[in-house]
Homo-oligomer: A and B are copies of this chain.
Amino acid sequence: MGVCSIKRSRKMRKVCVVITARPSYSRIKTALKAINNHPKLELQLVIAGSALLDRYGSAIQYIEKDGFRITEKIFMVLEGDTPTSMAKTTGLGVLELANVFYKIKPDMVITIADRFETIATSIAASYQNIPLVHIQGGEVTGNIDEKVRHANTKLADIHLVATDKAVERLTKMGEDSDYIFNTGCPSIDIAREVSENPILDFNPFQKYAGVGIGSEMKYKDGYIVVMQHPVTTEYSEAKKQMNNLLNAVKKLEIPTFWFWPNIDAGSDGATSAIRKFREHNDLKNIHFFKNMEPSDFLKLLYNSKVLVGNSSVGIRECSFLGVPVVNIGTRQFGRERGKNVLDVNYEEKSIYQGIKSQLRIEKRKQDYIYGKGNSGILIADILAKIKLRSHKTLIY
């Protein structure tokens, strides 16, 4: 009834979620749905940064296709892929998001994980005394992400983390345990759905085009997936590292689905390495994709023999799915991992042998360090009920 719904809407909490990149969307998607469906919550979705840009497989198409209404779009990425442009992108993000929050007046703002520009969301919200919710704090890695993640924690009022270890770390850091919740990671929710119906029911070349060997690739008998991102603080090395990986995978001669690196300092080095390698080599076992819908990507992973690279999907979703992973280099350093993960360094030989070794084993059992697949629902419930605050002190 009209009157009733008006009354109810007055009590609804406006939850503003800022998504600045494709992987952040994949990670948070089930929580967005749960917020949208919750009778006491109203979703305000802000899409910003590289999530709007074609060059990085723009997330926005998927978001719109999934039926979410977008409240604001914010263009803020400076060209250059250098540390300087990362800093300036962040500054511009603060300017823009301050406007947005001033205008749409959310009851709380959600910032996700640890990408460099997520701190823009944190500053724009906390400086305007809007309760800030940080998702996936308390983890440990080893580059600029590490600093950003913990700074986000210190600007945030409410912490929704993915592991028991993360709860423990935030408590040690002086956060109030009444405001720390282990919800698991919402990305596991999708992994759970996929694991319940994991058949590879689409043709990757038809649905996503991409470039490379294409339909001649006989992947039905077994294939691997590669997803390697440049490591921010070592960006001059990006080219060399990518070349090593390309050589190792070429030599393996196994059908390979390869995903382009995301935006970050160094990505131009990495992507140009791939382009040049393709020009100078006749690659008979590789096809390159920009992006897939998260659930398609997880089906592809579920049915693969090994995931190679440094994506967090190897650490999170693959632990739940039980897919063997060859994790390259320092990007996931410090993250809790299941037995499915084998760590190797950037050398061609290490990568090659690591993949060989993982190809030999059977699928491992699932484990639940990052949650049981009900994170989205848990998150929405907490946001609907928690007492809001925009003020805090160290708990020591």
Contacts and interface: CB of A to CB of B under 8 A. Distances in A.
Nearest to A276: B211
Interface string A347-391: 000000000000000000000000000000000000000000011
B73 A103 contact: yes
A168 B396 CA distance: 10
Given A87-B127, A98-B91, A150 B77 contact: no
Nearest to A139: B394
A94 B87 contact: yes
A221 interface: no
A285 B72 CA distance: 47
Contacts of A268: 54-55
B93 A91 contact: yes
Contact of A127 (B74, B83, B129, B155): B83
Ordered nearest first, which 6 A-B pairs have the shortest CB separation? Answer: A91-B94, A91-B95, A87-B98, A150-B154, A87-B127, A77-B79
A85 B169 CA distance: 34
A262 to B, nearest CB: 13
A92 interface: yes
Nearest to A394: B140
Interface stretch (A141-149, A240-248, A298-306): A141-149
Contact of A147 (B103, B155, B169, B173): B155
Interface residues of A, number: 73
A123 interface: yes
A76 B83 CA distance: 14
A103 B109 CA distance: 21
A343 interface: no
Given A78-B79, A91-B98, A391-B233, A396 B154 contact: no
Residue with the greatest number of chain B CB neighbours at <10 A, chosen from A50, A119, A151: A151
A165 to B, nearest CB: 9
Given A146-B393, A172-B174, A394-B140, A99 B74 contact: yes
Interface string A221-237: 00000000000010000
